[in-house]
Amino acid sequence: MKRLDASKLGVCRILMFGFALLYYGTQDFTQWAHVPPVFWRPIAIARLLHVQYPSSASLLIVQWIFRAALLLSCVGLYTRAAIFVAGISGAYLIALPNNYGNVHRIDAAFVVALLFMALSRSGDAWSLDARIGKRAPVVWKFEYAWPVMLIRSLLAVVFFAAGFAKLRHRGLDWITTDSLAILLGEQSRLLEEPLFPAAGAWVAGHARLCSILAGMTVLLEISYPLALISKTARKIIPAGAVAMLISIRVLQGPAFLPLMALQLFWVDWPWLIEWISSQWRVRHAGRSLPRTSTVPGM
């Protein structure tokens, strides 16, 4: 059987669980047990699974299990069990705040991606498990490709849906009128907390600029699925999406960090790592060569 390359998935596992450890692992979810029940408004999936209002003790236990599982998943020790536990406990903890007052879509895609990774064999490379020296497993030929493909497809669906919703609800008016300028002004001044409210208010004061930004946003969102089939689009669209999400944070408020982190699944990590190490080797070899000097007149 042809040996399959698990390295791309392995690097993605390290980055994804490393991000989750830094972003979610440092949050204190036990605080949600102290929010008054008047805010408790379970989302559909919580009602379906009969999720109850949490206690501080139970959240503390789940939180530490989640943190430990994230760490093990990141370094790749007992990986298959760790990523599964991280997926389940993470889905619960990340979903929890959405039962209080308002549903944030910031991490919805990340949770689905986490569940895909929880069912993957992402620990077969770039892990302590692999280093400890088990034999390469015999696996299905798409085993290391499907998690990456599914997460890329998930991103394509998410961005396309966002662009489609804008065209469906407002049509080209979303771009050609001062709709975004008004929205941006209200978001930056009254409703949200952007990084630079003054910048948001300034952009909102320039209707033409807002129309250009609106057009670029819709174009980027609608064309995102092209990244699945075109190598050229793959070089532009995910990077454009990251730039757009940063702009939203700076000018408007919401921080789509988990959605930004998922864009890492577009990078060809084995190629990039090989390129960096070859550059390093060339530079290192250049330095270690004996220096030759010429003496004038000889």
Partner 1 sequence: MSILEKLRLLAVALLCLAYAAVFGYGLATDRDAGWPASTYPMFSEGRTHDPLKAYRVFGVSNRQSEERIYTKDLRPLDGLRLLDGLTRMTHHDQVRALSFVLSLNPRFSAVRLYEETWQAGGEKLLGRELIAEVSR
- Contact call for residue 191 and partner 1 (CB under 8 A): yes
Question: Which has the closest alpha carbon to 7: 127, 149, 105?
Answer: 127
The token pair that represents 161 in the structure block:
């849906």
- Contact call for residue 24 and partner 1 (CB under 8 A): no
- Contact call for residue 170 and partner 1 (CB under 8 A): yes
- Contact call for residue 164 and partner 1 (CB under 8 A): yes
Neighbour-count burial for 134-165, b at 16+ CB within 10 Å, e otherwise: eeeeeeeeebbeebbebbbebbbebbbebbee
Q: What's the start-to-end Cα distance of the chain, in Å?
A: 63
Type of residue at 280: W
Residue 100 phi/psi, 5-degree rounding, is: -115, 100
- Contact call for residue 101 and partner 1 (CB under 8 A): yes
The token pair that represents 83 in the structure block:
């990523």
Kindly determine how many residues on this chain lie close enough to bind partner 1 according to the rule CB under 8 A.
60
Q: Which of 22, 61, 149, 165 binds partner 1 (CB under 8 A)?
A: 165
- Contact call for residue 95 and partner 1 (CB under 8 A): yes
The nearest distance, CB 183 to partner 1, in angstroms, is 5
- Contact call for residue 234 and partner 1 (CB under 8 A): no
- Contact call for residue 44 and partner 1 (CB under 8 A): yes
Q: Specify which residues 40 forms β-bridges with.
A: 100
Residue whose CB is less far from partner 1, 189 or 234: 189
- Contact call for residue 261 and partner 1 (CB under 8 A): no
Region of 204 (left: φ > 0; alpha: ψ -120 to 50; beta: rest) is alpha
The whole-angstrom separation of Cα 275 and Cα 49 is: 47
Residues making contact with partner 1 (CB under 8 A): 28-29, 31-32, 35-36, 38-39, 41, 43-45, 95, 97-98, 100-105, 107-109, 111-112, 115-116, 119, 140, 146, 150, 154, 157-158, 161-162, 164-166, 168-170, 173-174, 177, 179-183, 185-186, 188-193, 204
